Structure 1
């Protein structure tokens, strides 16, 4: 008798993003170039050659991806990835074909953050944690930021 499988497979976390896109092959290539993603296994293809299922490892996390089909329509997602160097990740993503949403900048909540959009419309925000901010200080900084935004409007 085979050993009982764990509820969460090795290498996975409780929550795993699953991207349904038009042009999964392009997005997989983008993720490999921009983020160093590696295929967990070769993609499973449908008879028409589109990708039915692929799993990629990015850092210590898995991302599943598939081409849209009748039962799973394409929809953009927003993902936040912690990376060692947000500026490098942002630049690599732009070089791999993404468009800029937000250039990297230090944020009040303690991360340096930048964002891009891939060709399927998914937003990828990169963060590098640069400061631990206490809850009271975080609240104070957020209030100040919103007050300053009101002045700029």
Structure 2
């Protein structure tokens, strides 16, 4: 009788981001330097040396990555990463080769956040929850933001 396995492996959540990039090794290096990402196991490589699959852990979340292939083309995405110190992580990400998308600032919705773009073009928004905002107050702040800025964040 086969052993029963869990439908979601240990360490994973229901949703797991999977990045398809040109230059996965460079993005893995960026994630390790910027976000203290840990390789879950040795990357599986294709015969040409490109990365077929790698799994990394950032904080309590898993992320998968591979180099582009005929079956899966590179695409960019945006990820929101909660961190204990947005400003320090933002600076660390810039030093790791990221480019600024938005400098850290306190936001109307209750997070301090800022963003960087990795060398493959993925945007990483960094957040730290600093305030619980009640639904009515959030609605008011959202209206005020549109009134003063005239466009979505």
Bucket of the pairwise TM-score, normalised by the shorter protein = over 0.9
1:76 has 2:76 as partner: yes
In structure 2, C-alpha distance between the alignment counterparts of 1:42 and 1:2, rounded to whole Å: 27
Runs of 4+ in 1 over 3 A off after TM superposition: none
In structure 2, C-alpha distance between the alignment counterparts of 1:2 and 1:43, rounded to whole Å: 28
TM-score normalised by L of structure 1: 0.97
Which residue of structure 1 lines up, in the alignment, with residue 116 of structure 2?
116
TM-score normalised by L of structure 2: 0.97
CA drift of 1:2 comes to: 3.6
Which residue of structure 2 lines up, in the alignment, with residue 15 of structure 1?
15
CA drift of 1:96 comes to: 0.2
In structure 2, C-alpha distance between the alignment counterparts of 1:100 and 1:2, rounded to whole Å: 50
Write the mapping of 1:47-86 to structure 2, written as runs, cut at 5 A: 47-86=47-86
Query: 1:84-127: CA deviations, max 9, x gaps?
Result: 01001100000000000000000000000000000100000000
CA drift of 1:3 comes to: 1.7
Query: 1:26-61: CA deviations, max 9, x gaps?
Result: 000000000000000000000000000000000000
Which residue of structure 2 lines up, in the alignment, with residue 28 of structure 1?
28
Which residue of structure 2 lines up, in the alignment, with residue 100 of structure 1?
100
RMSD across aligned positions (CA) = 1.0
In structure 1, C-alpha distance between the alignment counterparts of 2:80 and 2:89, rounded to whole Å: 12
Which residue of structure 1 lines up, in the alignment, with residue 137 of structure 2?
137
